[in-house]
A and B are shown apart, each in its own frame.
Chain A
């Protein structure tokens, strides 16, 4: 298996532009997570899905952020409009959740720079 795939790996954009990050989870996994990591705030959970349904989006910073999972093999995280404070590394992770265990497999991340 190729693992969790994220694209793009790097994104540089100007303030006000729309940014779309993409994730393909590991085949057969039923949960998907979006995280943001910065030096100041560490690793933050933004939103996660179980069986393509958003379960908890309390970590989404504000309405500029939105996430979708139209099917079991694809998810997007969109920022519109982007701001310099959104600069961070965004990770997607997937897992096969069952009660009692939840080992997550992380993608390589997308490094976002908003100028």
Chain B
């Protein structure tokens, strides 16, 4: 079964607006990561938030984590055309041992309109 699921599946907003994407998961996690994938490219790591953290910032990115609701959100402020991409959440299960794998969701396709 899918561990992480992003919502919405697709999002179109005007340049300069804020974009919010959500990720829900089913079981307890050790940490949660967000990745970006530009068309035709590999995934690029954006940010990692641990299960004992509630919020984290990196430049125009803000990630929140609510372990009671098993959900995370990624906020991109002041969006730019270059933010057009697919965004994936990935979870590491708890407890995490050395051989565990991270599990990717299906992604949110974000399109920034000029």
User: Residues of A at under 8 Å CB distance from B?
Assistant: 4, 33, 42-43, 45, 48, 50, 55-56, 91, 93, 97-109
Interface SS, B side: strand
The listed residue (B42, B48, B92, B107) touching A109 by CB distance below 8 A is B42
Whether B43 contacts A104 by the Cβ 8 Å rule is yes
Give chain B interface residues in 84-106, CB to chain A under 8 Å. Answer: 88, 90, 92, 96-104, 106
Q: How far is the CA of A84 from the CA of B77 in the complex (A)?
A: 42
Q: How far is the CA of A18 from the CA of B25 in the complex (A)?
A: 38
The listed residue (A50, A99, A103, A106) touching B96 by CB distance below 8 A is A99
Contact partners of B60 in chain A: CB under 8 A: none
Whether A97 contacts B33 by the Cβ 8 Å rule is no
Whether B92 contacts A102 by the Cβ 8 Å rule is yes
> Closest chain B residue to A103 by CB distance?
B45
Whether B99 contacts A55 by the Cβ 8 Å rule is yes
The listed residue (A42, A100, A104, A109) touching B102 by CB distance below 8 A is A104
Whether A103 contacts B48 by the Cβ 8 Å rule is yes
Q: How far is the CA of A100 from the CA of B51 in the complex (A)?
A: 10
Contact partners of B42 in chain A: CB under 8 A: 4, 91, 93, 106-109
Q: How far is the CA of A50 from the CA of B102 in the complex (A)?
A: 13
Whether B97 contacts A104 by the Cβ 8 Å rule is no
Query: Do A108 and B101 form a contact, CB below 8 Å, given A100-B31, A102-B92?
Result: no
Q: How far is the CB of A69 from chain B (nearest CB, A)?
A: 15
Q: How far is the CA of A107 from the CA of B30 in the complex (A)?
A: 25
27 contacts between A and B (CB under 8 A): A42-B104, A42-B107, A43-B104, A43-B106, A50-B99, A55-B99, A91-B43, A93-B42, A93-B43, A98-B98, A99-B97, A100-B96, A101-B31, A101-B48, A101-B92, A102-B92, A102-B102, A104-B90, A104-B102, A105-B45, A106-B43, A107-B42, A108-B41, A108-B42, A109-B40, A109-B41, A109-B42
